[in-house]
């Protein structure tokens, strides 16, 4: 009871049973990341070892949840952020030509920067300086990018030489399984079924196994390889940060990567903590108690995750599910953390579901992920809801938000979406005669200089 007393459960108006149930609800709600993260970071554009990524994801997330629970005593879970992983793979590695070891080094530095700012209120002040249209446009743009990747991975969307994209072969086995999975996940979410995405993933995988055997497919949609087994090895990803390689790139490149990683983590951490704190009724005079401990846990998670071999680890909005189930203390986060450690022994299951399907295509072989694709599409659909916070009747708000959200999926670059949004907001704000935060103008100037140097 001495350990449990640390969580002040009775004072929070909760019970041990309720906190444990809330932790299980949160873990089941966000556990889809354990299937998605290895598939994303092992994509050929990045090439990380999926076993090492899963190890890093489980351990970094587990430790982060324990830190949040024991030191901040808040029911908030942490895991690799969706969107950050896509920036890592498609913008940094594929677009900027960095090796994943160099990208991890940049992520580590961004985490250290956030950790250094934790004793101050600068993080909150920076977050308050970011205009709502840019924050909303960023969230929506990342969601659209994730959805486009999901449509590609599911074979629902494919390249076209004239129109750039077109519908894929919807009658192909991969596309059919992806569409089935999307329908199942969408129905479960619409019905507000707990752990809807996890259930959708497992149902889609089971359908893939059944279809492979029933129709005797030459290329299995899902190949059974077991459920429980030995934990994955961290060898190949842990401790592979390449600082020398990172700084060998032009300064404009590594500075941009670190700055964007810093800003994205800042958006997610402060925004999620404040939003979840309000939902849980934890705010006191407009502030979150033990906020510095919570922010420190979040920043430490990013540095630890980078050191082990995964992209930005931050506070998850899916913690809202556990809060809705009654979670009010750090015991909820501790239960989630233990769930991540237990997940290490289910590596065969994650490997089986996250494995890609190689299909013949012109001009080369293409890897599809029919079980993971529906999750990405659905997450994209949920993230675009951030645009509701934009004042669409005010052009100086609407246009930058639109450019931010549109450019991210079209350029496959979160950086370019942010650049167009910030520059547009600064210019149109000046034309409109509005007071624009100095930080916004400063970031806009840096983006302009970046384009000038690239040209």
Domain-located, residue 421: no
Confidence of residue 275 (pLDDT cuts 50, 70, 90): confident
In 364-434, alpha helices (H): 373-383, 395-411, 414-432
Q: Give me the mean pLDDT over the 281-297 stretch.
A: 83
d(CA 196, CA 190): 9
Res 271 pLDDT > 90: no
In 13-131, alpha helices (H): 16-30, 33-41, 50-67, 84-86, 100-117, 122-129
Please give the tally of structural domains in the chain.
Answer: 1
What values do phi and psi take at 166, rounded to 5? -155, 170
Strands 313-315 and 78-80 turn out to be antiparallel
Residue range of the domain that includes 331 = 2-387
Residue 2: its pLDDT value, please?
63
d(CA 365, CA 363): 7
d(CA 332, CA 382): 24
Q: Give, in order, the Cα–Cα distances in Å from 110 to each of 214, 285, 301.
A: 49, 30, 11
Domain-located, residue 227: yes
Among residues 40, 258, 97, 407, the alpha carbon closest in space to that of 399 is found at 407
Q: Give me the mean pLDDT over the 371-375 stretch.
A: 92
Q: Give me the mean pLDDT over the 93-103 stretch.
A: 94
Confidence of residue 264 (pLDDT cuts 50, 70, 90): confident
**DSSP code of 239?**
T
Q: Which residue has the higher pLDDT, 364 or 386?
A: 386
Domain-located, residue 405: no
Residue 341: its pLDDT value, please?
97
Confidence of residue 1 (pLDDT cuts 50, 70, 90): low
Domain-located, residue 438: no
Task: Please write the tens of the pLDDT for every residue from 32-81.
Answer: 999 999 999 998 889 899 999 999 999 999 999 999 999 999 999 999 99
Helix, strand, coil share of the chain (percent; to 5): 65, 5, 30
Confidence of residue 281 (pLDDT cuts 50, 70, 90): confident
Domain-located, residue 447: no
Q: Which residue has the higher pLDDT, 448 or 194?
A: 448
| Number of Cβ within a 10 Å radius of residue 364 | 6
Q: Give me the mean pLDDT over the 10-18 stretch.
A: 89
Give CA 6 to chain center in angstroms: 31
Res 249 pLDDT > 60: yes
Could you tell me which residues come within 8 angstroms of residue 272 by beta carbon, excluding any fewer than 6 positions away? Answer: 76, 314, 315, 316, 317, 319
Res 217 pLDDT > 90: no
Confidence of residue 183 (pLDDT cuts 50, 70, 90): very high
Task: Please write the tens of the pLDDT for every residue from 145-180.
Answer: 989 999 999 999 988 888 888 898 899 999 999 999
Domain-located, residue 409: no
Tokens of 4: 């449990």
What is the percentage of the chain residues whose pLDDT exceeds 90?
Answer: 57
Residue 363: its pLDDT value, please?
52
pTM: predicted TM-score of the whole model, two decimal places: 0.88
What is the dihedral sign for C-alpha 410, 414, 419, 424?
positive
Res 246 pLDDT > 90: yes
> Is the backbone peptide bond immediately before 29 cis, with ω within 30 degrees of 0?
no
| Radius of gyration of the chain, Cα coordinates, nearest whole angstrom | 21
Q: Give me the mean pLDDT over the 129-135 stretch.
A: 87
Task: Please write the tens of the pLDDT for every residue from 290-317.
Answer: 888 899 999 999 999 999 999 999 998 8
Domain-located, residue 148: yes
Q: Give me the mean pLDDT over the 126-144 stretch.
A: 85
Tell me the average pLDDT of the chain: 90
Tokens of 94: 């594929």
d(CA 282, CA 273): 10
Domain-located, residue 242: yes
């Amino acid at each position: 009871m001495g350990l449990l007393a640390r969580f002040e459960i009775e004072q929070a108006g909760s019970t041990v049973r309720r906190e444990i149930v809330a932790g299980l609800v949160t873990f089941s709600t966000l556990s889809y990341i354990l299937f998605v993260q290895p598939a994303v970071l092992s994509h050929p554009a990045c090439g990380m070892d999926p076993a090492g990524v899963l190890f890093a994801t489980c351990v970094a997330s587990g430790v982060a949840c324990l830190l949040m629970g024991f030191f901040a005593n808040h029911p908030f879970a942490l895991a690799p952020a969706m969107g950050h992983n896509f920036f890592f793979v498609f913008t940094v590695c594929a677009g900027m030509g960095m090796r994943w070891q160099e990208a991890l080094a940049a992520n580590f530095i961004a985490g250290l920067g956030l950790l250094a700012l934790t004793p101050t209120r600068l993080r909150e002040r920076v977050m308050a300086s970011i205009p709502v249209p840019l924050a909303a446009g960023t969230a929506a743009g990342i969601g659209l990018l994730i959805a486009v990747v999901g449509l590609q991975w599911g074979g629902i969307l494919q390249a076209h030489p004239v129109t750039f994209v077109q519908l894929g072969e919807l009658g192909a086995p991969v596309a059919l399984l992806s569409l089935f999975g999307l329908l199942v996940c969408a129905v479960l979410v619409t019905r507000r079924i707990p752990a809807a995405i996890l259930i959708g993933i497992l149902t889609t995988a089971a359908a893939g196994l059944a279809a492979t055997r029933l129709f005797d497919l030459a290329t299995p949609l899902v190949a059974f390889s077991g459920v429980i087994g030995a934990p994955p090895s961290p060898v190949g990803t842990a401790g592979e940060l390449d600082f020398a390689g990172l700084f060998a790139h032009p300064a404009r490149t590594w500075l941009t990567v670190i700055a964007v990683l810093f800003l994205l983590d800042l958006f997610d951490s402060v925004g999620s903590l404040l939003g979840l704190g309000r939902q849980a009724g934890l705010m006191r005079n407009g502030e979150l108690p033990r906020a510095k401990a919570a922010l420190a846990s979040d920043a430490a998670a990013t540095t630890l995750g980078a050191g082990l071999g995964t992209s930005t680890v931050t506070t998850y909005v899916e913690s809202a599910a556990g809060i809705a189930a009654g979670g009010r203390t750090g015991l909820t986060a501790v239960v989630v953390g233990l769930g991540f450690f237990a997940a290490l022994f289910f590596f065969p299951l994650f490997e089986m579901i996250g494995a890609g399907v190689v299909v013949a295509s012109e001009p080369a072989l293409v890897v599809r992920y029919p079980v993971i694709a529906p999750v990405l599409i659905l997450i994209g659909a949920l993230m675009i809801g951030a645009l509701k916070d934009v004042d669409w009747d005010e052009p100086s708000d609407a246009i930058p938000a639109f450019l931010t959200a549109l450019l991210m999926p079209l350029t496959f670059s979160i950086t370019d979406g942010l650049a167009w949004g910030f520059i547009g907001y600064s210019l149109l704000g000046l034309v409109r005669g509005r007071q624009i935060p100095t930080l916004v103008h400063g970031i806009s100037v840096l983006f302009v200089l970046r384009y000038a140097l690239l040209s």
